[in-house]
Structure 1
């Protein structure tokens, strides 16, 4: 029977991802079968999990998914020895209004699955106060059990001793303390970590993180703190309709933000997926019946996309007779123009009238609930789609017919409605699930 743990923290940027990757690789090196999940909507971390464990990772999200969907996804971990769910933001951080099965907080997943929490704490600039924070988090919500803490970025042996003593006084186990170690820092950019597939040395970095954590953390004690569990088989699988029978999927460094569970659900429903690279000037497979452009970083490659005539003409020809859908960055590429951070405007494919700009960055971040007002691949009018939006572009023009009425997690209507024209549709949010 597998054992489960949640890796969380009081806030973002404390070291959850690094610890998760290090524990996963260290236990894998010991011969254990390790599986990871990501709590919340971050679509970058699962690829790091896969690099550390050699096994696919998916997102589980209490705001967007019901319990049956979460149970179905987590059920893949029943053949593992240890399962780690990496949290997002702080342990209890979610949205103000409850979604399908929770607020999106990591604590929802910990309570739902009955997995204890290993808390990563950065005590920089404090000492005993770190124990007060840990104790407050331990007692904040009944049903969420704290297994212990790992201290990160400890300044000195004296600093470590002060924090350890304080935690011991409040009855909280310390599994280890990590000194500052720049060699295991993961590079970042404006949407989070630089993607795993873009880092040629990611395996070496994870190996170094595993070695470092193994020296400073009691891996056996952490493993013993995990809770044995068995998932009850879900009555239903994922509630996902593929956008078509044969899907041409854009896939490269500019188009990579698509949730792994969505692709798996499409395949499980019998769809075939063929990938193509717009950056390599490839057109979508002419035998496909739908084309899907995920989000990613088109703003970093806008000049190349604009110059790739075969891709642009091939996509336009495809859209004359068959549906083409873009999410976020993919939506921007379906538009007429994208202005990069230097203020240079690049011509896009022109299937939609959307114009976006990164010259004046503005962050758009949060869950989205969309009521579809026009058909889009895989979904009919009236469908209620749950997703997540995260980008820094500004809408210069969005002249086409709105695709949906879109609300944020508080119920407020937002301007990022998506749009459609002919066979082309696009949204700023990344689809996570459809309401049953």
Structure 2
């Protein structure tokens, strides 16, 4: 049975990803098979997990997924020696209203699967108070079990001693303490970490993180705190219908935000995925029966996309006879124009009338529940789709027929309805699952 743990923290930006990658690589160097998961709607971290472990990582999400789907996804860890689920935000941070099987909090996954939690605590600017925070997290919810703590960014040996003593008095294990170490900082941009595939030195960075963590953290003690998890047979798998039999999928640095479980579900249902690169001025494969443009960073490449005539004309020709769907950044590229951070407008594909601006930045973040008013690839009118939206672009115009009635996690109707025109559809949310 795999040793299973959840890596979480009191808040974002504390070092969960770095510790997860370091533990995974350190145990892999010891000859152990490590399987990672990501709790919550993050499409960047799973690629880092795969780089650290050599095994594909997928998201599990208690707001969007039912227990059967989550059990199906985590069952891939049954043949691993160690299973690590990296949390998002703080341990108990979710939305106010419960979704399919929870609020989206990492604690939901920890309790549902019975996996102990390793907390990453950054005691910068405090000392004994760090123990009060850890004790509060330990006692907040009876079904969530704390395995211990790793301290990150401790200022000095004296600082570490003060925090360790307080944690020991609270009955909380300290697995190790990490001094500040700039060499293992992961670069960031406006939607999170710079993607793994964009970092040529990612392997060396993960190796250095593993060396550093192995030097300061008792890896055996962390393993000893893990739960012995036996995967349960899932009553059902993923409730995902592929958008077509042969899918032309945009894949490059501008179109990379795809949940791994979605691609796996498409393939499992018999669909074939044919990647193409808009940044390389490639058009969708003419033999495909649907084209899908995922999100990513088109706002960073708007000039190149606008200048790639083969891509734009090929996409327009494809859409004359077959469906094309865009998510978030892909939706923006299907629109009429995209204004970049410098205020320069770039002409996009023009399959929809959408006008967006990255110069007028405003964060849009949260879960989305959409009821389709019209069909989109793989889904019929009336389907209830669960997803997540995260972008900084502002809608200047959205003139086409709305694709759906879209609610946020509180049930409030939002303006980002998506659009449809001819064979083209688009949404600002990234699809995670369809309600059964």
**TM-score computed with the length of structure 2 as normaliser:** 1.00
Following superposition, the deviation at residue 398 of structure 1 comes to 0.3
Q: Deviations over 1:187-209 (max 9, x none)?
A: 00000000000000000000000
Work out the CA distance in 2 between the residues paired with 1:317 and 1:55: 38
Work out the CA distance in 2 between the residues paired with 1:180 and 1:21: 17
Provide the secondary structure at the position in 1 that maps to 2:32: coil
Provide the secondary structure at the position in 2 that maps to 1:370: strand
Work out the CA distance in 2 between the residues paired with 1:313 and 1:223: 55
| Mapping of residues 370-381 of structure 1, within 5 Å | 370-381=370-381
Q: Deviations over 1:80-113 (max 9, x none)?
A: 0000000000000000000000000000000000
Aligned pairs, number = 436
Q: Deviations over 1:16-60 (max 9, x none)?
A: 000000000000000000000000001100000000000000000
Q: Deviations over 1:270-316 (max 9, x none)?
A: 00000000000000000000000000000000000000000000000
Provide the secondary structure at the position in 1 that maps to 2:406: strand
Provide the secondary structure at the position in 1 that maps to 2:7: strand
Following superposition, the deviation at residue 367 of structure 1 comes to 0.1
Provide the secondary structure at the position in 2 that maps to 1:124: coil
Following superposition, the deviation at residue 3 of structure 1 comes to 1.4
Provide the secondary structure at the position in 1 that maps to 2:310: helix
Provide the secondary structure at the position in 2 that maps to 1:152: strand
Following superposition, the deviation at residue 360 of structure 1 comes to 1.3
Work out the CA distance in 1 between the residues paired with 2:45 and 2:229: 24
Following superposition, the deviation at residue 231 of structure 1 comes to 1.7
Work out the CA distance in 2 between the residues paired with 1:419 and 1:360: 21
Work out the CA distance in 1 between the residues paired with 2:218 and 2:129: 23
Runs (5+) with no aligned partner, structure 1: none
Following superposition, the deviation at residue 151 of structure 1 comes to 0.2
2:285 is the alignment partner of 1:285: yes
Work out the CA distance in 1 between the residues paired with 2:232 and 2:372: 33
Following superposition, the deviation at residue 232 of structure 1 comes to 1.3
Following superposition, the deviation at residue 230 of structure 1 comes to 1.1
Work out the CA distance in 2 between the residues paired with 1:143 and 1:359: 45
Indicate the residue corresponding to 1:57 in structure 2. 57
Work out the CA distance in 2 between the residues paired with 1:385 and 1:183: 41
Following superposition, the deviation at residue 235 of structure 1 comes to 1.3
Work out the CA distance in 2 between the residues paired with 1:360 and 1:248: 32
Following superposition, the deviation at residue 350 of structure 1 comes to 0.2
Indicate the residue corresponding to 2:79 in structure 1. 79
Provide the secondary structure at the position in 2 that maps to 1:223: helix
Provide the secondary structure at the position in 2 that maps to 1:177: strand
Work out the CA distance in 1 between the residues paired with 2:152 and 2:337: 44
Work out the CA distance in 1 between the residues paired with 2:84 and 2:235: 24
Work out the CA distance in 1 between the residues paired with 2:388 and 2:176: 35
Once superposed, which parts of structure 1, at least 4 consecutive aligned residues long, lie more than 6 Å away? none
Work out the CA distance in 1 between the residues paired with 2:231 and 2:265: 19
Provide the secondary structure at the position in 2 that maps to 1:13: coil
Following superposition, the deviation at residue 428 of structure 1 comes to 0.1
**TM-score computed with the length of structure 1 as normaliser:** 1.00
Work out the CA distance in 1 between the residues paired with 2:229 and 2:30: 22
Indicate the residue corresponding to 1:205 in structure 2. 205
Following superposition, the deviation at residue 357 of structure 1 comes to 0.2
